Amino acid sequence: MELSVLDVLLFIVATIITIWFYFQNSYRYWDKRQVPYLKPVFPYGNSTTLLQKDSLPAGEVYNWYNELKNKGHQFGGVWSFSRPVFVVLDPEYIKDILTKDFHHFVNREIYCNEKHDPLGTNLFNIEEQSWKLLRQKLTPTFTSGKMKMMFKSIVDCSDNMIKFLEKKSDADEDIDIREVLASFTSDVIGNVAFGVESNSFDDSKNDIRKYGKEIFETFDLLLLLRIAAQRICPNISKKLGIKSMPDRMIEFFSNLVKTTMEYRTKNNITRPDFLQLLIDMHQEGETSEKYVNFDQIVANTLLFFIAGFDTSSTTMTFTLYELARCPDIQEKTRQEIQKVLSKHENKLTYEALQEMTYLQQVVDEAMRIWPPLITLGRICTRDYRLRDSDIVIEKGTPVVISTLGLGRDPRYYADPEKFDPERFSSEEKNKRHPYIHIPFGEGPRNCIGLRFGLMQSKIGIIRILTNFRIHISTKTKMPLTVDPSIFLLKSNETLYLKAEKM
């Protein structure tokens, strides 16, 4: 039977009306539960656009935080399209969700398809049933002893960065500092995660740097469509087998790990890196509690690359930006570094790094204003009654926290736009709620690699400050603003610096 044009039009209209009624029913969700909420708009809810780079873009969560704060709320409801989302502002509630009542919020608000996409399933996105066991296996790879083992490799990787900056300084050229630091972290992660020695400053065909750019910088319509599907209908996406990353990227890193493992085993080679730790666990055999299979090695080595590459380069970028804007603080930081190094025969060692307390304050203050992970997301895994209230967060509800909102909230930080490392002196930190500054998350599911990330970031900053004085280039468009489309921090503007040799 052939359909007429009228039949088709009627079908389309009926479908739109059905969808509209579905959304309108969803948009009564928070009102029925007597939760304060922001008014949604069909069909986006409180979202701004469909094709974003992440499931819950940070700019949206930051805006939700500020709107609810301005209305005097400590929490509130919003909608990501038709999906209700719970936004938490109060640090005591944040503490409950991330730590005290963590067992209700084990899963992250990140798409995971363990059945159809094992190579895309890692410690960051893996869900409740498998997370705890994998976390227990991987935790020993990030101890102080393991960090110390990798320390020299990171310092060695910074040599190429310094040589590159020296050339730029001699030529009085502008420096795209984010690109420089991304190249440095690419070399570090390639070295300690994949056992690949590279020089991203000279080799334009460096594959690891290329894929780093592809993950974080390349516009990929197909990827955005996949993320949109995961965002609007995650359960259907799982059934359809939609993966979180492009096949070509997974294939590249899988082959890299496989080749490296085979080479080391055949030639009886060991290295002081993250991949070696995983290889050792793999060789324990399936009966061992430490055993990880090949897919887990690839997935978590790739996670190590993604997390270590972007968060560390971002932390360094914005720390150097603030130091370039504040030459007096830059000089004070440099003086501490030089003083500590003089006690260690002018050698940058793991022990020397631990003594640089003002440098830690500088990095903390930079991450307050520019947190590398600007949104934390969890999924409620079982119904949860909010403390001192009758409000129940239902199983399956996404819960989001804006670290960017917390760090720039004038209720907690006077003159929040001002860069002032003294806010993170021991005395000042003790005056504040500890869950106001959580750039790496908090609780059992905080960032497992936070010590590695901070170590890598501080090494890069130290190497630059001991060799150069840095200034903001006139080429930089000020002030810097945040790209709202991703949960990992990135500025809309390119940050150019000038480096003056010491």
Q: Check if the beta carbon of residue 480 is closer than 8 Å to that of residue 446.
A: no
Q: Would you state the structure tokens that stand for residue 204, as one six-digit string? A: 């334009």
Alpha helices in 140-244 (DSSP H): 144-170, 177-194, 207-216, 221-232, 234-239
Q: Where is the binding site, in residues?
A: 447
Give a three-class secondary structure readout of 252-309.
HHHHHHHHHHHHHHHHCCCCCCHHHHHHHHHCCCCCCCCCCCHHHHHHHHHHHHHHHH
Task: Give the C-alpha distances (Å, rounded to integers) separating 128 from 304, 416, 445.
Answer: 20, 37, 11
Residue 212 in 3-state DSSP?
helix
DSSP state of 98: I
**CA-wise closest residue to 452 among 276, 282, 281, 315:** 315
Q: How many angstroms separate the CA atoms of 207 and 186, rounded?
A: 10
In the numeric block, the tokens 């993250």 are attached to 274
Q: How many angstroms separate the CA atoms of 187 and 181, rounded?
A: 10
| 326-344 per-residue burial string, b: 16 or more CB within 10 A, e: under 16 | beebbebbbebbeebbeee
Q: Where is the binding site for heme, in residues?
A: 447
